[in-house]
Structure 1
Amino acid sequence: MESTPKPPKPTTIEEYLERLDPEPRAQLVRIRSLVKELVPTAEETISYGMPTLTYGGRALVYFTASKKHLSFYPSSWALDAFRDRLAGWTTTAHAVQFTLDNPLPDDLIADLVRAHVRDIDAGRQ
């Protein structure tokens, strides 16, 4: 029995988003737009198979969709700085996971992004 070949991995954020169902796509488009509004010089790429926005030559944020949740990766430092505000979501060392029923609010995303920009500007490694 022949299996259907997997489509090639996306090489742009647009290709990644096109493969998603409308609801998760809308959430990731919202995040992408908000980050680009906050950091107009952010550049788009795919890194580690994930949509990535870079700033100052470094990854600023990643964002992904999986079957059961979406993930936003601002940086472990940003997550630590706002740990108290992340209580309603599952977090890992580098990401906050959320669902369509419990999305991340714009103000929290903005604060996480601003914190990571400050860290990058300060040369934090």
Structure 2
Amino acid sequence: MWKCPECGREFKNTNQDHFCGEPPKTIDAYIDAQPEEVQPLLNQVRDTLRAVLPHAEERISWSMPTYWQKQNIIHFAAFKKHIGLYPGDKAVEHFKEKLTEYKTSKGAIQLPFSKPLPLELIAEIAKWCYETGNHH
């Protein structure tokens, strides 16, 4: 077990990515707490999700920015080398042909900082999650 020297939480993996301290209360607070160079990318993802999910509520869930309407639709979060997009496992499976250049796992997509953000694909995935009810 590895123990974070900042918050004291224990993890199986050494240097496990996590959020230390109290979770942010708003998406603005979440973005403001991220490194300055990452903030514009997070705002691009947020603006894309706002445009395609205009009636969804913005909230923090699982310490991540989340779009919600009766249930969670999609989450996103910043990490050291990527933005994680969390549309759920059915969305990752449905869009697998369009996600071949990204690392994926069950319900998660890693969008590396080294590549331009696929904003049209993010919008398409979020809209699909909302319209099909395949929410995360």
Fold match by TM threshold 0.5: yes
Partner of 2:60: helix, strand, or coil?
Answer: strand
How far apart are 1:105 and its partner, in Å?
1.0
Unaligned runs of 5+ in 1: none
TM-score (norm 2): 0.78
Query: What is the rounded CA distance, in whole Å, between the counterparts of 1:39 and 1:24 in structure 2?
Result: 22
2:42 to 24, 28, 34: 28
Aligned to 1:46: 60
Unaligned runs of 5+ in 2: 8-19
Counterparts in 2 of 1:4 and 1:70: CA distance versus 1, 3 Å: closer
Query: Does the CA-based 8 Å contact 1:61-1:74 persist in structure 2?
Result: yes
Deviations along 1:32-83, whole A, 9 cap, x unmatched? 111111111110111111111112x111110001112210112211111110
Aligned length: 120
Query: Does the CA-based 8 Å contact 1:52-1:59 persist in structure 2?
Result: yes
Q: Aligned letter for 2:124?
A: D
Amino-acid identity (%): 29
Alignment RMSD (CA, Å): 2.2
Q: Which has the higher helix share?
A: 1
State whether structure 2 residue 76 is matched by structure 1 residue 58. no
